[in-house]
Every structure is written in structure tokens, then in C-alpha cells.
């Protein structure tokens, strides 16, 4: 199968994340890494290729982002992806989800130029924007079924069947490939790159694409043509630490009850 897994390079959530002057996320002046939630996507994509070892597969990690975002592709290659694709172009900076999904869709088409892509695998959300909309937008743009938020994935022939925790029910979803799949962190621990994997990754093909390579006009993407705009960002004032008491001989329960009563929660 021809499988593409989408990987995003995001600011480290444990670091100090902030905005630029133009209200875009600062992606350059902070430590970045492969979005944790995309590691689950890489893991599930790898497992599909491993479970179907008697077939031939090409698994490509696809990333859209500035130059340093290539680190996310490298990590995916170390984990076991076969090839990398990095779309990097200054015009992309500040793109909203709609424009990002356009770039990814064009890149998926490019990666399917010789042999059509059977499966696009995504994480459930990025850990920075956290909108959870790219898989659905991508499916819409590519005209493919979306099978999203999977916690268990099975594939056989051209069929995919997943289990997911929907908003109000546990569901089983079935669809025929090609399709867009997104997976949650419930799908199973992502593997760490082995030493062998890290060495092997250095020799794997990693292709860089510009917008022109994808046949995309720069005027269709970027901050200036985004369909929504951020007017202002405000750092939330740190919560002023409240009273913390030590429980001694039941004093904690009394103090807690008094606090809740004073705040009229009882």
C-alpha cells in the first residue's frame, strides 16, 4: 500500500509557548518536536505495514512547516517510516487550518502521482493548535471517506474497520480505502526509535517540496489570506496560589468543607 502519515512539528508543550507580534505561534524561537499525538499516528501506520508484511508498502511521513520542522520527519523516519516529505515555503507561514489542509492535500496527491495513496493517517489533534479539524478537512478536499478518532484499527484487503469512543457512544466504523484515518492516544503506546532505527533513518529518502513543486499558487496560502484572523492574544494572569493547608487529624476535611460552604458549593 501507499500510506502517508501526517506529522506536525510543534512547540514543546512543557516549554514557554507564546505568540509572535503578528499573533502567529512562535515556531522558531522555541524548542520544537514531533507532536506527541502524531507519534500515535506513526505507530499505527507502522503496525498496519507490519501486520500486512506479505504486501509491499511505502510509508511516507509528510510534514508542512518551516525549515526546522524537518526534525519531525526525521523522528518519524527513526521510528520506521520508509520515506520523508517536507513541504517548506516561506509563503505558508501563518496559514489557517483551511490553507494547511490545502497544502497537505496537494502534497498527498503529489505522493500518489505514480501509485495512488491508499491511506492517509493523522493524529487526533496537534498539541499546539489543537483544533482536531485537519483530518476532516483533508477528507473533504481529497473527496475521501474520513474514519476518525480510532482507538482500535483493523485492516483487511481494501477494508478498514475501527473502534472509537464517539461523543455519546462507542462506535465501530467501516470504510473502503482510499481514506483518511485519524487515531487517538488510546490506540497504543508509540515506539521509541531504536539505535538501529536512528542509524537507518540517515539513509532514508527525504524529499523537500516548495509550493511550486505542488502546483500551488503562493497567494492561496499564508497569513494574509487566512479565512480568520486573530485580533489579540493575552497571557492569562498566573492563578494566584490560594490557601493550602496540611491535613492533621481530620483538619483537612473540615477546612475543605468550610471552604466549599463559604463559596456556596454546598
Q: How far is the CB of 36 from another protein (least distance, A)?
A: 9
Give the angle subtended at the CA of 3 by the CAs of 2 and 9, to the nearest 5°. Answer: 145
Which residue in the set 18, 51, 115, 202 belongs to the binding site for another protein (CB under 8 A)? 18
Q: How far is the CB of 166 from another protein (least distance, A)?
A: 7
Contact 71, 38 (CB under 8 A): no
b/e code 38-51 from CB counts within 10 Å (16+ = b): bbbbbbbbbbbbee
Q: How far is the CB of 190 from another protein (least distance, A)?
A: 13
Residues 190-219 that bind another protein (CB under 8 A): none
Residues 45-84 that bind another protein (CB under 8 A): none
44 binding another protein? (CB under 8 A):
no
User: Do β-strands 119-123 and 2-6 pair in parallel, antiparallel, or remain unpaired?
Assistant: parallel
Query: Binding residues for another protein, how many (CB under 8 A)?
Result: 84
C-alpha to C-alpha distance for 38 and 105, rounded to whole angstroms: 17
Among the residue ranges 17-25, 59-67, 113-121, 205-213, the one whose residues contact another protein (CB under 8 A): 17-25
C-alpha to C-alpha distance for 33 and 13, rounded to whole angstroms: 9
Contact 23, 129 (CB under 8 A): no
Residues 133-162 that bind another protein (CB under 8 A): 133-137, 139-141, 143-149, 151, 161
By beta-carbon proximity to another protein, the closer residue of 109 and 207 is: 109
By beta-carbon proximity to another protein, the closer residue of 57 and 141 is: 141
Cell 489543537 belongs to 130
Residues 157-186 that bind another protein (CB under 8 A): 161, 165-176, 179, 184-186
> Distance between alpha carbon 140 and the CA centroid of its chain, in Å?
17
Q: Tell me the C-alpha to C-alpha distance, in Å, between residue 86 and each of 37, 73, 82, 191.
A: 19, 7, 14, 22
Residues 219-258 that bind another protein (CB under 8 A): 226-236, 238-239, 241-247, 250, 252-257
Amino acid at each position: 500500500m501507499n500510506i502517508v502519515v501526517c506529522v506536525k512539528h510543534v512547540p514543546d508543550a512543557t516549554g514557554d509557548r507564546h505568540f509572535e507580534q503578528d499573533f502567529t505561534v512562535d515556531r522558531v524561537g522555541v524548542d520544537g518536536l514531533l507532536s506527541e499525538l502524531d507519534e500515535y499516528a506513526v505507530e499505527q501506520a507502522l503496525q498496519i505495514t507490519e501486520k500486512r508484511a506479505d504486501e509491499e508498502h511505502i510509508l511516507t511521513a509528510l510534514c508542512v512547516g518551516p525549515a526546522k520542522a524537518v526534525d519531525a520527519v526525521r523522528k518519524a523516519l527513526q521510528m520506521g517510516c520508509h520515506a520523508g516529505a517536507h513541504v517548506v515555503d516561506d509563503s505558508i507561514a501563518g496559514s489557517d487550518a483551511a490553507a494547511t489542509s490545502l497544502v497537505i492535500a496537494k502534497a498527498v496527491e503529489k505522493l500518489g502521482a505514480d501509485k495512488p495513496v491508499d491511506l492517509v493517517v493523522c493524529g487526533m489533534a496537534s498539541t499546539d493548535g489543537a483544533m482536531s479539524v485537519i483530518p476532516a478537512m483533508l477528507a473533504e478536499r481529497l473527496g475521501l471517506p474520513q474514519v476518525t478518532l480510532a482507538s482500535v484499527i483493523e485492516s483487511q484487503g481494501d477494508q478498514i474497520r475501527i473502534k472509537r469512543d464517539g461523543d455519546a457512544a462507542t462506535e465501530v466504523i467501516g470504510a473502503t480505502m482510499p481514506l483518511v484515518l485519524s487515531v487517538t492516544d488510546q490506540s497504543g503506546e508509540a515506539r521509541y526509535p531504536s539505535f538501529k532505527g536512528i542509524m537507518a533513518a540517515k539513509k532514508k529518502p527525504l524529499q523537500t517540496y516548495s509550493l511550486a513543486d505542488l502546483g500551488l499558487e503562493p497567494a492561496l496560502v499564508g497569513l494574509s489570506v487566512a479565512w480568520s484572523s486573530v485580533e489579540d492574544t493575552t497571557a492569562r494572569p498566573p492563578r494566584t496560589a490560594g490557601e493550602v493547608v496540611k491535613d492533621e487529624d481530620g483538619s483537612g476535611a473540615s477546612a475543605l468543607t468550610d471552604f466549599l460552604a463559604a463559596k456556596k458549593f454546598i
